[in-house]
Amino acid sequence: MNKELKALPLKPIHFTMQQKLEKLAEISSSEERIVQLLQTYVELFPIRNALLFRYSPLGHLAEGIISIDSTGINYILSIRDDVRSLPGIYDAIQEFGAKYIPSKDYFTKLGSKYILNSESLYSVLVVPICTGSSVIGYICSNEFDEETVFDQELLSDLTRFGTLSGKLFKPMNKKDTKHGLSKRELEVMEELAKGGVIKQLVDTMGISETTIKQYVKSVIKKLGVQNRTQAVAELVKRGIIF
């Protein structure tokens, strides 16, 4: 049982939240833990869908991972955004707190592309997932129970959920050799998962572009996937990186 999840003072919803997240911490499969996290989120709050994104301060890049709604579970790996172009999300990340964006502010805070396949304006909720002093991801929602009011108390509870959730994404044991990757290959893939590009890695890692590309090709082959995006997704699913 994760003792860190027990440190904060409780009120009824906090107690329920804490109990559910403690159980999630015991799930060994990273993919199952993520799915259960989103299911817990929509069960606890007056929310009907959830989209989970990975976030890296390097380039302020957000990448979609998985979503859940009434139709089931979907992978949203094709979504990549510089959150600086999405002020509502960027503000939530900078403030380390849940932020509700009403429909009247949709275009100024999010633009027209962020929620896919939408023909009308939505209200959007953003909940940063924090670990320590860093934001490592966030949950977005745009479907809510009728007459839901996102007052300060509810936003505070959502912020707490994001803080507690961050504890579920501690790095897995890198000494696990089941993935078959070398230490350097794993370092390269971790940087790419955080939003780094190969040319940036040349400077940050001190190795040539050719060598980095060779590492990536080797990882793709070892994992039996088709490309770099699939390689990152597979490593996330296995709980090797987030």
pLDDT value, residue 224: 87
For 54-79, the pLDDT digits (tens) are 888 767 888 888 999 999 999 888 88
- pTM higher than 0.75, yes or no? no
Q: Which residues of the chain have pLDDT under 70?
A: 1-11, 58, 111-121, 170-179, 194-195, 237, 239, 242
pLDDT value of position 69:
93
The sign of the dihedral angle between the CA atoms of 231, 233, 237, 240 is positive
CATH of the domain spanning 183-237, picked from 3.40.50.1820, 1.10.10.10, 1.10.260.40, 1.10.357.20: 1.10.10.10
The predicted-structure confidence for 46-57, as pLDDT tens digits, reads as follows 999 999 998 887
pLDDT of residue 165: 92
Q: Does domain 3-169 have CATH number 3.90.1150.10?
A: no
Domain ranges of the chain: 3-169, 183-237
The answer to whether 171 and 153 are in contact (CB under 8 A) is no
Are the CB atoms for 43 and 35 separated by under 8 Å? no
**Whole-number pLDDT of residue 242:** 63
Q: How far is CA 13 from CA 1, 31, 153, 200, 236, in A?
A: 19, 25, 11, 44, 30
Antiparallel, parallel or unpaired: β 72-75 and 61-69: antiparallel
Burial class (CB in 10 A: 0-12, 13-18, 19+), 234: buried
pLDDT score, position 132: 77
